[in-house]
Amino acid sequence: MAFDYDYTGNLALLDRPKVAFFASRVVTPALEEQSLRWAEACCATDRAVISGFQSPLEKSVFELLLKARHPVIWALGRTLYRRYSSTVEEALAEQRILIFAVRNVRRTGWQTAQARNYVIASMSDESVYAVNEQSRTSSLGVLYGLEVGTKPVRLISSPASCG
């Protein structure tokens, strides 16, 4: 696979089956619980989870996956960070993570987040969305609509499993 982004970590993760995870910024406790159960189930598979890990729920999933030592691909909507947390550094040392910069800008904004999410969706073999259906129309809803019918796409709104 051609890969023209700035990156650090294990490029071989791109060769694994990849499941994208997207979550609304605000979710219900039930949706959060179902999403975390989904992430736990992913730990029993060979799929790398790819996400921007930006929203609060995406960050919780990221922490769960790192703690479980599951492979992740972290797509940034900005330049690479200069320093990472100790858990990310450990994952880098153990080749369990790939971090790449979708855009060469200093901060993630709405436009760079959209570009990042579309790149994530295009790189994944399947996608999972934890979208707060009670909120206003979101860009995640638009992306979900674009992906449905092109590959396996799941909307977490009831108990779900990875796969």
For residue 74, is it within any domain?
yes
Residue 27: pLDDT band by 50, 70, 90 thresholds? confident
Residue 137 CA to residue 100 CA, distance in Å, equals 28
For residue 1, is it within any domain?
no
For residue 87, is it within any domain?
yes
Task: Give buried/exposed letters for 75-85 (b at 16+ CB in 10 A, else e).
Answer: bbbbeeeeebe
75-101 tens-digit pLDDT: 998 889 999 999 999 999 999 999 998
For residue 80, is it within any domain?
yes
Question: How many domains does one find in the chain?
Answer: 1
Of residues 117, 140, 111, 121, the one with CA closest to residue 26: 140
For residue 29, is it within any domain?
yes
Domain containing residue 109: CATH number = 3.40.50.450
For residue 53, is it within any domain?
yes
Average pLDDT over residues 63-72: 98
Residue 143 CA to residue 129 CA, distance in Å, equals 10
In which domain, by residue range, is 111 found? 6-155
38-57 tens-digit pLDDT: 999 999 999 999 999 999 99
pLDDT of residue 3: 56
For residue 162, is it within any domain?
no
For residue 101, is it within any domain?
yes
